[in-house]
Amino acid sequence: MTPAELLSRLTVPAVASPMFLVSGPDLVVEACRGGVLGAFPALNQRTSEGVDAWLSEIEERLEAARRAGEAPAPYAVNLIVHGSNQRIDRDLEIVAAHKVLVVITSLGIRPDVIETVQGYGGLVFHDVIQTRHARKAAAAGVDGLIAVCAGAGGHAGLLNPFAFVDEIRSFYEGLIILAGAISDGRHVAAARLMGADLAYMGTRFIATEESLADPAYKQMILEAGAADIVYTPEISGVAANFLKESLARNGLDGSGAPPETLDFGEREAKAWRDVWSAGHGVAGVRDVPTTAALCARLAAEYAGAAERLGFRAAA
């Protein structure tokens, strides 16, 4: 699949981005049926065999949608390419066996991962928060760079999106996927206007019926504004954005010492289960719709914005 073919299969040029302990098959399938690229982190399953089972389930459900005359978008799996992720090799084998069309890599570049995915015809997107990392990933031949900018949920960067997209474009011809507080279809259109090919939306999709987040987590997002988000390395060792209220409920304020090492085993799972992450985009999240309703709304807002601004809405 080429990047152009991928874009042509989306109704909205957006990704429902992979979120630890939040994204599962229901969210992925409904996003794809809504014309948005759905995604989940492999680590959301406790074992590689569990990932295999989720992939089979997602494919069966998307195939059923196709038989019913729908044209669902492709989906993606996120692999954490970090030394502490002991499952990466087995997870990659499973992803390759299923020929997952898009693989999103985080926290490290491994040429063999890129080769494997591109070898079966898939695309690799890699997320970056700094130009130095973007250059390294571009040199390694990834198909898309995810520019994770200031205010994004999860492990966010600090760069301004206008500056970061332009800087990446100065040396990179592949897809640019913009992340950070993108909450509605107007924002998706804005991302396109400023030079990105796709929008990457996390926080907005936490507050959907299909997300695996605790109902109290969704409610906290509805009540929060941008000032209620704290950027801190205290929870996982790498700076990330968390809900101030959730930190407080755990007796924290974000000023404590971070763990010395990153650990994508049990510790990280406990940390993210107890302390809830979200980005500045909480300010624009005011309801908990079904993923189908959210995707339909995104499509209408995106098409409306494109028409007003005079550009073609098709991805």
Ligand X SMILES: Cc1cc2nc3c(=O)[nH]c(=O)nc-3n(C[C@H](O)[C@H](O)[C@H](O)COP(=O)(O)O)c2cc1C
Instruction: Find the binder of ligand X among 45, 85, 203, 236 (CB under 6 A).
Output: 203
Site for ligand X, residues 80 to 119, rule: CB under 6 A = 104, 106
| 201/220 with CB nearer ligand X | 201
Burial label, 58 (beta-carbon count in 10 A; 0-12, 13-18, 19+): buried
- Residue sitting closest to ligand X (CB): 202
Determine the length of the chain: 315
Give the binding-site size for ligand X (rule: CB under 6 A): 26
With binding defined as CB under 6 A, does residue 144 bind ligand X? no
With binding defined as CB under 6 A, does residue 182 bind ligand X? yes
| 153/174 with CB nearer ligand X | 153
Six token digits for residue 137: 């990933």
Instruction: Find the binder of ligand X among 279, 291, 294, 313 (CB under 6 A).
Output: 279
| Alpha helices, H only, the chain | 3-8, 25-33, 48-67, 88-97, 111-119, 131-140, 161-169, 185-193, 203-206, 215-223, 244-249, 266-274, 291-309
With binding defined as CB under 6 A, does residue 41 bind ligand X? yes
Stretch that binds ligand X, among 14-22, 110-118, 283-291, 295-303 (CB under 6 A): 14-22
With binding defined as CB under 6 A, does residue 232 bind ligand X? no
With binding defined as CB under 6 A, does residue 148 bind ligand X? yes
| 62/79 with CB nearer ligand X | 79
Six token digits for residue 307: 């028409």
With binding defined as CB under 6 A, does residue 72 bind ligand X? no
Indicate the residue type of 31: A
With binding defined as CB under 6 A, does residue 123 bind ligand X? no
In sequence order, the 6+-apart residues with CB closer than 8 A to the CB of 107 are 80, 81, 82, 155, 238, 262
Stretch that binds ligand X, among 113-121, 135-143, 167-175, 277-285 (CB under 6 A): 277-285
- Residue whose C-alpha is closest to residue 119's, from 146, 138, 141, 86: 141
With binding defined as CB under 6 A, does residue 228 bind ligand X? no
User: How many Å apart are CA 118 and CA 96, to the nearest integer?
Assistant: 10
With binding defined as CB under 6 A, does residue 201 bind ligand X? yes
15 three-state secondary structure: strand
Residue 287 CA to its chain's centroid (Å): 20
CB of 31 vs ligand X, minimal distance in Å: 13
| 20/164 with CB nearer ligand X | 20
List beta partners, residue 140.
Answer: none
| 98/276 with CB nearer ligand X | 276
CA distances in angstroms from 264 to 44, 64, 130, 239, 243, listed in the order given:
11, 34, 22, 15, 21
CA distances in angstroms from 234 to 198, 242, 260, listed in the order given:
31, 10, 10
| 65/267 with CB nearer ligand X | 267
With binding defined as CB under 6 A, does residue 236 bind ligand X? no
- Chain residues in the site for ligand X (CB under 6 A): 17-20, 22, 41, 78, 104, 106, 127, 148, 152-154, 179-182, 200-203, 277-279, 281
